[in-house]
Amino acid sequence: MLRLPAELTHGQAKDCLAQLIAGLDAEAVSPVVVDATALGRFDSSALAVLLELRRTCQRAGKALVVQGLPKHLGDLATLYGIEGLLPST
């Protein structure tokens, strides 16, 4: 399982995405689960990271599921019309 950090804003987005993509090699099963329960401070960059991770998973033939998506981040996804792209559990 991949995990998002406690803080994911524009300043951390590039490094966070690189770490998540590097961790995909260890995820042999689909769907790939991303645990977002620790995420407490974030901006819309968190959505950008998740969407790029989703694209990377798709290229590898895997699905992506987000576990523990914070309500506010889900609200942002709905506001931007992308909530269907980030299935959650």
The pLDDT tens digits of the residues spanning 14-32 come to 999 999 999 998 888 889 9
3-state secondary structure of 34: strand
Cα(27)–Cα(31) distance, integer angstroms: 9
> Residues with Cβ < 8 Å from 35, sequence gap 6 or more?
1, 2, 3, 4, 67, 68
pLDDT at site 27: 87
Amino acid present at 38: A
Measured between its terminal Cα atoms, the distance across the chain in Å is 13
State the DSSP code for 88.
B
All domains of the chain in start order, with CATH: 2-85 (3.30.750.24)
The pLDDT mean for the chain works out to 95
The per-residue pLDDT for range 46-62, each reduced to its tens digit, is: 999 999 999 999 999 99
Quote the pTM value: 0.94
> 45 exposed, middle or buried (CB, 10 Å; 0-12, 13-18, 19+)?
middle
% of the chain surpassing 90 pLDDT: 90
